[in-house]
């Protein structure tokens, strides 16, 4: 399951959406699949209840789905 990430402290009016990390690096500034960067501490969740309530980044969601489709296509080619 993908980890969804968002900034812990956000300036007023900033997006509160959850993003998917493009790279999983600890203690480093991370980039989301949609290009969003996290310049500060983040929180991570795989809790779908929270994600449904607070909203996922639609761009990250689409890119994540595309990556999963690619992975499935790769498996199909190997088994053929």
Footprint of Zn ion (CB under 5 A): 19, 32, 34, 36, 57, 59-60
Q: How far is CA 30 from the centre of its chain?
A: 10
Q: Are 19 and 58 in contact (CB under 8 A)?
A: no
Q: Residue with structure tokens 């980890």? A: 3
Least separation in angstroms between CB 49 and Zn ion: 19
Extract the tokens encoding 63: 């890119």
16/76 with CB nearer Zn ion = 16
46/74 with CB nearer Zn ion = 46
16/69 with CB nearer Zn ion = 16
């Amino acid at each position: 399951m993908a980890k969804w990430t968002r900034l812990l402290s956000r300036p007023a009016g900033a997006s509160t959406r959850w993003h998917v990390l493009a790279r999983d690096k600890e203690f480093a500034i991370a980039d989301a699949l949609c290009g969003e960067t996290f310049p500060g501490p983040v929180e991570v969740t795989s809790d779908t209840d929270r994600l449904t309530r607070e909203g996922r980044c639609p761009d990250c969601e689409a890119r994540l789905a595309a990556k999963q489709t690619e992975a499935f296509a790769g498996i199909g080619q190997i088994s053929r």
